[in-house]
Amino acid sequence: MSKSVTTGRRAGLDRDDMVATALALVEKEGPASLTMRRLATELDVTTTTVYWHVGSRDELITEIIRQQSERQAARPIEGDTPRDRVMSAARHVWDSAIENRAITSLAHQTGTTSLLEHPLEVALAREVEAAGLAGPAAADALRAILTTVGGFLVRALRDESAIPEDRRGPALWAAADVEIDPSTVAALSEAPDLASLFEATVQAVVDHHVR
Amino acid sequence: MSKSVTTGRRAGLDRDDMVATALALVEKEGPASLTMRRLATELDVTTTTVYWHVGSRDELITEIIRQQSERQAARPIEGDTPRDRVMSAARHVWDSAIENRAITSLAHQTGTTSLLEHPLEVALAREVEAAGLAGPAAADALRAILTTVGGFLVRALRDESAIPEDRRGPALWAAADVEIDPSTVAALSEAPDLASLFEATVQAVVDHHVR
DNA sequence: ACCTGAACACCGTTCAAGT
DNA sequence: ACCTGAACACCGTTCAAGT
């Protein structure tokens, strides 16, 4: 019961402890829960202490993303043809984002996506080059593939339940003001199989650059 | 010089005035400038008055997006083949987003993108059906195209200057820790021609569904 | 070197009260 | 019906002060 409010020294925490706690907090309660005050409470210190160790919210987030980027272990590329191996590398970006929704969302919101995914992007770049591309052609292929993957990620990570019913896509199509085929409207009302749509679409983009 | 602080009645403002002022504010100073307090100042009333008229920040934004959605006049679809017309409709989504960066960013941040772009999506859906698709096939084509366009929009609307140098993509590639060809690294360091990359990539996705 | 308390300048939102 | 003043519960950040 020593509530010892030892005003002053020693909490025994360093920068890494704070980043680790912050990362865990984001994983457990989502990006919105990460506030300097909340993190301080979690660590049982004052906000000022957090500032002393991490600098600012921006630096904290950069550090979280940097750590997560390292944790996203290099995944083995599969496939025998360049086409398959490029596709495999692209899928790794998708998979690791899906497996780490909360932190990936945080990265998207703070513009640190490239920092988070860089190792996986490097792996993709290697396969693109192994397919015979270099220079501007390789850069274009890389950007086209990553941008397409990014589009699917934005869709997959968006929390539909956080959006009011009447602002969601399906509801808008159901209120069919115009001449769209009922069978199409019906198909649009159902939840899409994003994973297989991802496969087909990214494959099409890959095929456009690698053959 | 009548600073008449007529505490109480009559500011002569209605809901539409507020939404219009809010929309103009976002266009002039960006999505971040839109706070209830700032809007109140702009209208020369109290925050409470804004709440009385618009309900909440969420409702205000929905209304902004709804109005902008209507303003985004139906653009004429060009082209003689289904392939060209689908592509033209897809380009309209891109063009109107680029022409209205600030509001589109606001929509992206608040999950109201589908509300904003719905009229243009309907136009795209019509062309997809005119190409001979319906039901699940039409829905898949639509979603694949729109998701790809969305990926490019996220990239194009991201304010690179707001991201610290060392977190940006090019800087990460320049610090080439691995075996990537120097010519590729050089190409990645230059600003991409997003518009033409958009053309080529979306065309590839369109071709996968429409032929 | 490491930590606290108090404060500044912001948020969105609500409530009781005025005309 | 329409508007204000004051307040609540939050933010990120900084500064002077303690040990």
Q: Is the pLDDT score of B108 beyond 60?
A: yes
Q: Is the pLDDT score of A153 beyond 60?
A: yes
pLDDT tens for each residue of A95-113: 999 999 999 999 999 999 9
Query: What percentage of residues in chain B have a pLDDT greater than 90?
Result: 83
The pLDDT of residue A2: 31
pLDDT tens for each residue of B51-85: 999 999 999 999 999 999 999 988 999 999 999 99
Q: Is A188 helix (H, G, I), strand (E, B) or coil?
A: helix
- When pLDDT is averaged across residues A15-26 and rounded to a whole number, the result is 98
Q: Is the CB of B164 under 7 A from strand D?
A: no
Closest nucleotide (CA of A51 to C1')? Answer: D13
The pLDDT of residue A11: 73
Q: Is the pLDDT score of A205 beyond 80?
A: yes
Q: Is the pLDDT score of B131 beyond 90?
A: yes
pLDDT tens for each residue of A30-41: 999 999 999 999
Query: What percentage of residues in chain A have a pLDDT greater than 70?
Result: 94
User: In this complex, do B187 and A135 lie within 8 Å of one another by their Cβ atoms?
Assistant: yes
Q: Is the CB of A41 under 7 A from strand D?
A: no
Q: How confident is the model at residue A7 (pLDDT cuts 50, 70, 90)?
A: low
Neighbours of B90 (CB within 10 A): 27
Task: Read off φ and ψ for residue A159, nearest 5 degrees.
Answer: -85, 95
> Quick check: B203 and A150 in contact, CB under 8 A?
no
Token code pair at residue A93: 């970006």
- Nearest residue, CB atoms, B126 vs list A125, A133, A180: A180
Chain B interface mutation, best of A59, A160, A180, highest count of B Cβ atoms under 10 Å: A180
CA–CA separation, B43 and B52 (whole Å): 13
* B175 inside 8 A of chain A by CB: no
The pLDDT of residue B3: 34
Q: Is the pLDDT score of A170 beyond 90?
A: no
Which of B90, B147, B196, B57 is CA-nearest to residue A194?
B147
The pLDDT of residue A49: 98
Q: Is the CB of A58 under 7 A from strand D?
A: yes
The pLDDT of residue A10: 66
> Quick check: B170 and B189 in contact, CB under 8 A?
yes
- When pLDDT is averaged across residues A150-175 and rounded to a whole number, the result is 88
The pLDDT of residue B73: 83
- When pLDDT is averaged across residues A188-206 and rounded to a whole number, the result is 97
C-alpha torsion angle, residues A55, A56, A58, A61 (rounded to 10) = 70
Which of A110, A107, A102, A132 is CA-nearest to residue A118?
A107
Single pTM value for the model: 0.94
- Say how far B1 CA is from C18 C1', in Å: 24
Which of B103, B52, B203, B124 is CA-nearest to residue A173?
B124
* Distance between B169 CA and the closest CA of chain A, angstroms: 6
> Quick check: B7 and B45 in contact, CB under 8 A?
no
pLDDT tens for each residue of B37-53: 999 999 999 999 999 99
- When pLDDT is averaged across residues B134-157 and rounded to a whole number, the result is 98
- Say how far B40 CA is from C15 C1', in Å: 19
Q: How confident is the model at residue A165 (pLDDT cuts 50, 70, 90)?
A: confident
- When pLDDT is averaged across residues B141-146 and rounded to a whole number, the result is 98
Task: Scan for tokens 């500011």, then name that residue.
Answer: B11
| In chain A, residues 182-201 whose CB comes closer than 8 Å to chain B | 183-184, 186-188, 192, 197, 200-201
List, in sequence order, the alpha helices (H) in A111-167: 113-130, 135-157
The pLDDT of residue A141: 98
> Quick check: A124 and A93 in contact, CB under 8 A?
yes
DSSP B74: P
Q: How confident is the model at residue A9 (pLDDT cuts 50, 70, 90)?
A: low
User: In this complex, do B205 and A207 lie within 8 Å of one another by their Cβ atoms?
Assistant: no
* B180 inside 8 A of chain A by CB: yes
List, in sequence order, the alpha helices (H) in B6-46: 15-29, 36-43
Residues contacting residue A155 through CB under 8 Å, at least 6 positions apart? A194, B147, B150
CA–CA separation, B81 and A84 (whole Å): 32
Q: Is the pLDDT score of A1 beyond 70?
A: no
pLDDT tens for each residue of B164-196: 888 887 888 888 667 899 999 999 999 999 999
Q: Is the pLDDT score of B8 beyond 80?
A: no
* A101 inside 8 A of chain B by CB: no
* A104 inside 8 A of chain B by CB: no
Residues with CB under 7 A from strand C: A 5, 7-13, 45-49, 52-53; B 7-9, 34-38, 47-48, 51, 56-58
* Distance between B208 CA and the closest CA of chain A, angstroms: 7
> Quick check: B146 and A169 in contact, CB under 8 A?
no
pLDDT tens for each residue of A49-97: 999 999 999 999 999 999 999 999 889 999 999 999 999 999 999 999 9
The pLDDT of residue B204: 98
Q: What is the mean pLDDT of chain B?
A: 93
CA–CA separation, B79 and B88 (whole Å): 7
Q: Is the pLDDT score of B1 beyond 50?
A: no
The pLDDT of residue B176: 67
